[in-house]
Structure 1
């Protein structure tokens, strides 16, 4: 318990101890707007109703909310809490961290569908698409995000926005494009080099000389046979 008290990151500290020492204490988060939530299974349905009513949540991260989830989910989510702590000061990464927590709650406790919460988080996290370098990949991810936003599944939304395979694929495509660009730049440089200009000039002289000889010969023939 003392270790939890000393850790001041989201999901720890005095709030975490408060919920662990009082297993029936309802969540004290202010943005639950007075809703009584003493069971973690009730949390996401309440958030769903609040978003359906107001169109959004006033804030995405709250110390009481994270501590309540951490103490009641009955699973080790330290990795998710550490990521959330590392994201402090970065609004986008904080939202992504909270999506991870909500997805963990839905995966373990349901409900199966949270259409309003999922759609709102999808809108808030759309900038995640800009992490991809390739335009085709960004377009593909936007379409996938749009499709998932109405599905109500936070687990799928989280998997989409944190797809290591997609990020690796994008990185491979980026490196390939850079190699192709470098190769093209070298070819252009060769074309613009002095040696190339000299060789083109010599070729031009040979062509001009050939044309001149042909013209002289044709003139001589005309003179002789006219």
Structure 2
């Protein structure tokens, strides 16, 4: 039985009941996720063959709170202060290249609208969108972490997540323009490597987020502690 048939059979039999479980099974089989659609994912096998797995899991394909198999500490509460750290990501159509923009904001909806509608050369995510156009790639957004603190404190976690992304193989177009961001001495509540499967499962198309007014829930929480 092919890997595609194996995964589709597991979905049909109820062995796989969510996109998160599907992504985890794909990772265990050594497959690389190349596409993340509304009702399908694209996969690349160790033999270089590509295929798609389709599904119709209960609860819909666009949850506003990502399903995570790990305890990240994030809870769906109203945030009255602090900053969100978020990622805009894009993957090439052949799955061989990926790029990202890491940012921070106090207002996710407004910031996502700005990214989508205000493209100025040399500013913010302009270079990422140029990269996505060249690669014919979709730009997706994920809220990585909530940081309980001021902008200076949040900048340390922005720098931390940018480092994790680069270490995971992401290109960061124009990141050199921002200089070397500081790093937290103790990245409390954060992963020690880029959580690829969790980020991919939680990501949503930026256009979809803006048009539907969705505010995703963060994957991780950084409580304020002395640095």
Check whether TM > 0.5.
Answer: no
Shorter chain as denominator, the TM-score bin is under 0.3
TM (normalized to structure 2)?
A: 0.25
Higher relative contact order (CA 8 A, sep 6+): 2
TM (normalized to structure 1)?
A: 0.25
